[in-house]
Structure 1
Amino acid sequence: MNRVMVIGSPGSGKSTLSQHLGRHYKLPVIHLDKHYWLANWTPRDNDSFDQMLEQFASQEQWVIDGNYSRTMDIRLKRAEQVIWLDMPTWLCLYRVFKRRLIYHKKSRPDMNEECQEKLDLAFLKWVWNYRKRSRPATIQKLREGSAHTEVIILKSKAEVAAYIDSLPVE
């Protein structure tokens, strides 16, 4: 396995699984949040983000973690495997609150160092509405763009654990 795309709601476990896959397959891990967000949660402009993403996706080996559905096609056309963490909303919200406590006044390892962990109403609404807002478009994109790509959909912590246990010995 050389190119793995990990997608899902905020709090679904994308970064944790990506780190595990990176270690397992000995692949570089690219956290899109780390590259999209500049200091103090300032978003990078779309053109430079897209160019950066094209460069990442053109590499021979990677695990790329992040949704950014506007740019999903860039990754999808190169990915050998897509893992979609289609987790319950309650679990994602729990994890978002948990990481807010863990990283209070700090930046997460998968985030730009100049972005301290924060939690606001707009982000909570984003997570709350993810399944209704983003899920149908994700399903459509995966149907359209994944003829050459293995798609794995994991819907619970138990399924993620079973998937990890099933990984081939490298």
Structure 2
Amino acid sequence: MRRVLLIGPCGSGKSTLARELAPLMVLPLVHMDQLGWQAGWVETEKAELNARLAEVVAQDAWLIEGNYGSTLAPRLERADTVIYLDFPIRLCLWRLAKRIITHRGRSRPDMPEGCPERFDAAFFWYVMNWNTGPRVRTEAKLAGYSGKVIRLRSPAALAEWRVRHGLV
């Protein structure tokens, strides 16, 4: 595993897992949120985001964490492995609520400075509807992927996978 994507619903624990796995796998870590946002919750222009991402995926090794469905195709073209945290949405919503409380008013480590954590009803709605929208689009893109997909459906399955592969 030299070019790894880590995807899944928001609140599944992608960022936390990526921060743990990257040093164990000896891979440079890239958070899509750091590419996609600027201070003040200003979205990066699409052309700039694509240019930044092109520089990253051209490298020989990386772990890229985040969904960003509009950028999934070029990442899949270069990835040799996809780790898909396919966790239940109710768990993701619970974790999202905990994240908001824990980091409220401060930028998380996976976000650019100047993007303080906050409650966003539209974002919660997006996560609540993951299975009928983003999941469907993600699954369609993964259907054409020829690399390895590691689909983990629970935190217990993730823990077992980590132990089995010496990533603890």
Q: TM-score, normalised by structure 2?
A: 0.96
What's the secondary structure of 1:40's corresponding residue?
A: coil
The alpha carbon displacement at 1:168 in A equals: 4.3
Q: Which residue of 2 aligns with 1:9?
A: 9
Taking the aligned partners of 1:120 and 1:104, their CA distance within structure 2 comes to 12
Superimposed CA distance per residue, residues 86-116 of structure 1 (whole angstroms, 9 cap, x where no aligned partner): 1111111011110111112111000011100
Question: Percent of aligned positions with the same letter in both sequences?
Answer: 40
The alpha carbon displacement at 1:67 in A equals: 0.4
Structure 1 spans left out of the alignment, 5+ residues: none
What's the secondary structure of 2:40's corresponding residue?
A: helix
Q: Which residue of 2 aligns with 1:150?
A: 148
Q: Which runs of 4+ in 1 moved over 3 A?
A: none
Mean Cα deviation higher: 76-85 or 15-24: 15-24
RMSD: 1.1
Q: Which residue of 1 aligns with 2:67?
A: 67
Structure 2 spans left out of the alignment, 5+ residues: none
Taking the aligned partners of 1:41 and 1:87, their CA distance within structure 2 comes to 27
Q: Which residue type is aligned with residue 130 of structure 1?
A: W
Mean Cα deviation higher: 93-102 or 160-169: 160-169
How do residues 1-170 of structure 1 correspond to structure 2 at under 5 angstroms? 1-144=1-144, 146-147=145-146, 149-168=147-166
Q: Which residue type is aligned with residue 152 of structure 2?
A: L
Q: Which residue type is aligned with residue 36 of structure 1?
A: G
Mean Cα deviation higher: 106-115 or 129-138: 129-138
Taking the aligned partners of 2:120 and 2:143, their CA distance within structure 1 comes to 33
Q: TM-score, normalised by structure 1?
A: 0.95
Aligned length: 167
The alpha carbon displacement at 1:24 in A equals: 1.1
Q: Which residue type is aligned with residue 165 of structure 1?
A: V
**2:35–2:53 contact (8 Å) kept in structure 1:** no
The alpha carbon displacement at 1:137 in A equals: 1.6
Taking the aligned partners of 1:132 and 1:159, their CA distance within structure 2 comes to 23
